[in-house]
Amino acid sequence: MAKTEVVNFSRKHPNLRKLGLDNAKKIVFLPNYSHFEQRYCFPKQRYLSLNGNPPSKVWYTDYRTRLPKGSVAVFDKKRHVVSPNYLGPDVGCGMLLARFKQRLEDSLGDLNHGAYSIACRMQIDDKDIDGLWGRNHFIDIYEAQEIDISVPEIKKGDNLALIHSGSGRKRIDIFKNGLCGAKYLKAHDMASNFARENRQKLLEMVQEATKTEASQIFNRTHNFVEVNDDRIIYRRGAVCLRLGYVGIIPSTMAGDAVLVTPKPGISDLECSICSGTGRKISEKDAKSEFDSMEIRKRVYIPHFIDDDFLWNENPENYNSLEEIIQILEPYVNVVGRLKPVAHIQ
């Protein structure tokens, strides 16, 4: 088997064999790579039938592992069976970005009132909307600060909503069911579609709560598998950014986000960028003490969202956005900068 090509932006040197990735054609560890989530194990081989062909010896990952966040793994389609173990349960996790057609201050008289209304609406149980499901999922409201002419749909001063959510209660229990191959792909696609549609419903809820129309700019997944003619590509905590696309890299609940477009060199990263800046401190070791008052002065967080619910997302637990931008400079153009004005979990 040919040696695995590795593109590594992390400060760590992951053990591909222990991660079950040494049989991949290519691995990209993006700057938001999270080495805290490594699940060490060993790969196996089995005789399996692929695409209706006679059984052949292929690599099959039937151990419990996950591709660490901020990673892209490429496999030869002829030698690999699609497995649930690389992505984990939250298939379809992603982000939707939308632009309000009117500034919230103009339509409501008070931007904070709009964020408060959204947070209150989130408390109402709705069988048609799956919600955010905690963790690091959120709805952020931004104000556009610097916008390049290459992004005509956004202008300086515009308010935008960024919705980050996954497949929630519809997440597929594929570990327990032991799905792989075509059966897994079917379940994967159902969960991904559900997650994408749920983000659209959340946007409708945001519009209802703020009484302000918003137009969707994109709705992209960063936890999914892509199957093409000869390759299988897993992306976890990684967004597909092809030429002509606009993407976003958010930082923390009180930090800026940047809009980016790809440079030709993005192909070296399998047309992938970070879904965020990534943790520098694990959830287990996260700093539980932080100056919540200082953060609440910088960005509006509704009063009934308790600090005990926010501490794990302490900005000090995350990598610097400026550092991530500098690392990705050969691969993306920064075409906009967004200032956070409200955060809802």
Domain ranges of the chain: 5-344
The tokens for 205 are 């809820």
More confident residue, 218 or 292: 218
| pLDDT tens figures, 132-171 | 666 678 999 999 999 998 899 999 999 999 999 988 766 6
How much is the average pLDDT of 305-317? 77
pLDDT above 70 covers what percent of the chain? 84
Measured between its terminal Cα atoms, the distance across the chain in Å is 46
Per the CB < 8 A criterion, the answer to whether 97 and 186 are in contact is no
pLDDT tier for residue 239 given thresholds of 50, 70 and 90: very high
Task: Give me the pLDDT at residue 50, please.
Answer: 41
Rounded-to-integer distance, Cα 25 and Cα 34, Å: 21
Per the CB < 8 A criterion, the answer to whether 254 and 218 are in contact is no
| pLDDT tens figures, 69-126 | 899 999 999 999 898 888 887 889 999 999 999 998 887 777 888 888 888 887 776 6
Mean pLDDT of the chain: 84
| CA neighbor of 7 nearest in space, from 285, 273, 323 | 273
Q: What is the CA radius of gyration of the chain?
A: 20
Rounded-to-integer distance, Cα 251 and Cα 324, Å: 10
Task: Give me the pLDDT at residue 35, please.
Answer: 67
| pLDDT tens figures, 267-310 | 999 999 999 999 888 777 766 667 788 888 889 988 888 777 77
The tokens for 4 are 């695995």
pLDDT at 53 over 50: no
Q: From 3.40.50.300, 3.90.1860.10, 3.40.50.2300, 3.90.660.10, which CATH number describes the 5-344 domain?
A: 3.90.1860.10
CB-count exposure of residue 41 (10 Å: 0-12, 13-18, 19+): middle
Residue 230 to residues 72, 145, 166, 188: CA-CA distances in angstroms?
Answer: 16, 42, 28, 19
Rounded-to-integer distance, Cα 163 and Cα 200, Å: 9
Quick count: other Cβ atoms within 10 Å of Cβ 121?
Answer: 17
Tell me the pairing of strands 247-249 and 257-262.
antiparallel
Q: Write the single-letter amino acid at 243.
A: L
| pLDDT tens figures, 31-51 | 998 765 554 333 444 444 343
Task: Give me the pLDDT at residue 285, please.
Answer: 72
